[in-house]
Amino acid sequence: MASAPARCGMENFRKVQTCEEEEGGAPPPFPGLPAGVAEMKVKEGSKIRNLLAFAAARMEAGGARQIVFSGCGRAVTKTVTCVEILKRRLGGGLHQVTEVRYRRLREVWQREGRAERLTVPRSVPAICILLSKDPLEPGQPGYQAPQPRPAAGPAPPSRQGARKKRRLQES
């Protein structure tokens, strides 16, 4: 009876470490920012409501004029979502500069039950978004001017409001 061929796929490995490779000499995304600018590092598991609560508090009550959101890999869409919600919450008037990059990662995989290791370099997309109450240079790449505030009108009914109204009517 012939033995089954040995499988050498990645199913026998597990990821043991992920490191960011040093970007030798890469400039910061937004040079010239004043010290103390809040930086929101969005991760895949971050809760949007927690990020927004902190960012809104800094921009409204904290008196911050600028804030930077950054995320990479699977957190890119969550980063953009946070920025768009914050812009809507603060009522417009925010200048935006967006920079898209790639971040180099190094993953270390280890074969189960053995000391054999495999190192895999990866490039993952990353995004940095600067929001500012102060005007920014409109000629720079990724600049987006503030959107005009929408005209005041009746707010569309929310689902939660409709549920509450229905419960009140039923009781």
Spell out the residues 6+ positions from residue 104 whose beta carbon is closer than 8 angstroms to its own.
20, 21, 23, 121, 122, 123
> What's the mean pLDDT in 6-25?
71
- 114-155 pLDDT, tens digit per residue, is 888 899 999 999 999 999 999 999 999 999 999 876 665 565
- The yes-or-no verdict on residue 8 having pLDDT over 70 is no
Q: Which pLDDT band, with edges at 50, 70 and 90, does 90 fall under? A: confident
Helix (H) or strand (E) holding 10: none
Q: Are 85 and 122 a contacting pair, CB within 8 Å?
A: no
Q: Which CATH number fits domain 35-147: 3.40.1190.20, 3.30.200.20, 3.30.110.20, 3.40.50.300?
A: 3.30.110.20
Distances from the Cα of 107 to the Cα of 22, 34, 111, 162, angstroms: 14, 34, 13, 49
With CA atoms as reference, report the closest residue to 13 among 104, 116, 121, 122.
116
Q: How far is CA 156 from the centre of its chain?
A: 28
How is the chain split into domains, by residue range?
35-147
Q: Are 40 and 55 a contacting pair, CB within 8 Å?
A: yes
- 32-66 pLDDT, tens digit per residue, is 888 878 899 999 999 999 999 999 999 888 788 99
The answer to whether the pTM exceeds 0.75 is no
